[in-house]
Amino acid sequence: MEGQDTKGKIAVIGLGISGLAALKNLLEQGFDVVGIDRNDYIGGLWQFTEDKKQVSVLKTTIANSSKQFGCFTDFPFSDDVPDYPTALDVAKNLQDYAKRFDLFQHIRLGVNISRIERSKDGQKWDIHLNEKGEVKSKIEKVSKVLVCTGPWERSHRPTYEGEANYEGIMLVGKEYKGPAEFRDKRVLIVGMANTACDIAVDLVGAAKEIYISHRSGTRIIPRMMDAPPFKNTLGVINDHITGRLSDGSVKLLGGIKRFSPHGVISDGEKETEVDVVIFCTGNYFDYSILSHEADPTKLGDSSEWDQAEHSNGLMYPRLYQTLFHPNFAESLAFLGPCRGFSFAVHSNADLASQAIAQVWKGNYTLPDTTERSEWCEKNYKASLGVIKNWRTFRTGHFSAGEFEYWLNTVAGTQVNEYLGWGRKGWTFWWNDREFYNLIVRGVNTPFLYRLFEGREGGRKKWDGARKEIWKANGKVPPEDR
């Protein structure tokens, strides 16, 4: 893959957090890029919509990552935004990001893509699309494609005995847009992850009765405690669900065994009558627009994964380093199907797209197809070990730490060097010890990835990174004291 250059059009598909970061980082490296989204707006799910076919935040949604942790590497939230931004705050930040880096001139909205396939000559990718208002589709050819359509597009709903005879209403989580239509209804929410708990809290005061059905429970954590904002965690993050469970506004049920005409039978053969059932049982990446050769879930034998108790319909994508299609690494990559090294979407997308840009620019050479495929098999076997023990909503790298190290190497951030045990690391520690200790022991911020002068031709340094790291830790830089 040596000798790659910036010639040829790149299409970034999807313009949520990941797509916008990718668009910006590819443009920064001199590529000819177009960002495409089916919506009339950017921001993906962070833009609330009443359209029940679309995944979106609720009007009451609050981000689960603090603004110090969950932001772009060179574009912090404004000072007036609270530690945990509202959905409106995040949507505005994305708009401001696009304006700051002049992205709108490279964006096409209201474009529906029905197919992405390899061109007949095997040199480009054919994108079948419809512009808004057009009935007939057309084909546009591009040299490379970065798919960022979001990991939550395809809803997973389990089936139960007797549900065909249930006389109430059933819907999936993305179809819930607010409490008004459920006023005075008895509502059962199936699942106990973030979306389920958010909906349950949102329904309090409107629904007559609210139940959550869960099989195995979870750990519930508030966003703020008598400590700095959380940097990383697993489980449900919700400030109010514990209180609503305690006061009885929301009641818990065991796992559903079957449906009755007027409700459900849960563990213990207890019948609970409900008018509405909302399934918050998982949303996955949608591969349906990809041709067979472009679809990473069509590579290899994933039957053991598919048959695993906890896979719950989650398809397994074989992607090199969870990003590149192993057969087309020079021209087809993905952000979204696999979880990143961080809990924060911004950091994952920003650093990963910096790395993708460096590979496609020819500044970093990937191994050959055989070695890439072998890595994918190694990661698949590691993933099987995970899914045998517990369910997951996304596959990922077998080692988050190794993945972050690899991304820093490929992107050329010099983070590994300055925080490592070599000469640069020791010199940094000796000459700037207070700041070094702040980075190592303080609040984890994405500004670190733009702090150091990078490898020649690598990602751009941001001069504001140092000040923002001090600021995120509630401290004033020594030079400003």
467 and 381 both lie in a single domain: no
pLDDT computed for residue 8 by the predictor:
86
What are the structure tokens assigned to 79, written together?
A: 């000072």
In a domain, 4, yes or no: no
d(CA 400, CA 461): 24
Q: Choose the final residue of a domain: 249, 281, 313.
A: 281
Q: Rounded to whole angstroms, what are the CA distances from 142 to 30, 101, 417, 464, 481?
A: 16, 23, 36, 35, 52
In a domain, 259, yes or no: yes
What are the structure tokens assigned to 137, written together?
A: 């589709």
Phi first, then psi: give them for residue 93, nearest 5 degrees: -60, -40
pLDDT computed for residue 4 by the predictor:
43
Phi first, then psi: give them for residue 339, nearest 5 degrees: -70, 155
In a domain, 191, yes or no: yes
Domain count for the chain, please give it.
3
288 and 268 both lie in a single domain: no
404 and 427 both lie in a single domain: no
Burial 45-80 (b: 16+ CB within 10 A, else e): bbbbeeeeebbbbbeebbbbbbbbbbbbbbbbbeee
**Confidence (pTM):** 0.93
C-alpha of 24 from chain center: 17
For position 185, which CATH number holds? Answer: 3.50.50.60
In a domain, 3, yes or no: no
215 and 94 both lie in a single domain: no
pLDDT computed for residue 227 by the predictor:
55
In a domain, 339, yes or no: yes
339 and 322 both lie in a single domain: yes
Burial 228-266 (b: 16+ CB within 10 A, else e): bbbbeeeebbbebbeebbeeebbeebeebeebbeebbbb
365 and 481 both lie in a single domain: no
d(CA 153, CA 75): 27
Task: Report helix, strand or coil for 440.
Answer: helix
pLDDT computed for residue 7 by the predictor:
66
pLDDT computed for residue 222 by the predictor:
84
366 and 465 both lie in a single domain: no
d(CA 291, CA 124): 14
288 and 148 both lie in a single domain: yes
364 and 331 both lie in a single domain: yes
Q: Choose the final residue of a domain: 396, 411, 426.
A: 411
Which structural domain, as residue segments, surrounds residue 477? 415-481
In a domain, 1, yes or no: no
390 and 445 both lie in a single domain: no
Neighbouring residues of 427: CB distance < 8 A, sequence distance ≥ 6: none
For every one of its 481 residues, what pLDDT tens digit does the chain have, with 9 covering 90 and above?
Answer: 333 445 689 999 999 999 999 999 999 999 999 999 999 999 999 999 999 999 999 999 999 999 999 999 999 999 999 999 999 999 999 999 999 999 999 999 999 999 999 999 999 999 999 988 788 889 999 999 999 998 888 899 999 999 999 999 999 999 999 999 999 999 999 999 999 999 999 999 999 999 999 988 788 888 877 655 445 456 788 889 999 999 999 999 999 999 999 999 998 888 999 999 999 998 899 999 999 999 999 999 999 999 998 888 899 999 999 999 999 999 999 999 999 999 899 999 999 999 999 999 999 999 999 999 999 999 999 999 988 888 788 899 999 999 999 999 999 999 999 999 999 999 999 999 999 999 999 999 999 999 999 998 889 999 999 999 999 999 998 888 8
Q: Most distant CA pair in the chain: distance in Å?
A: 72
Neighbouring residues of 152: CB distance < 8 A, sequence distance ≥ 6: 45, 55, 174, 283, 284, 285
DSSP H helices in 204-266? 241-246
Neighbours of 393 (CB within 10 A): 16
23 and 131 both lie in a single domain: yes
149 and 18 both lie in a single domain: yes
In a domain, 434, yes or no: yes
In a domain, 353, yes or no: yes
pLDDT computed for residue 151 by the predictor:
87
Alpha-carbon dihedral sign for residues 234, 407, 351, 365: negative
Q: Choose the final residue of a domain: 382, 411, 440.
A: 411
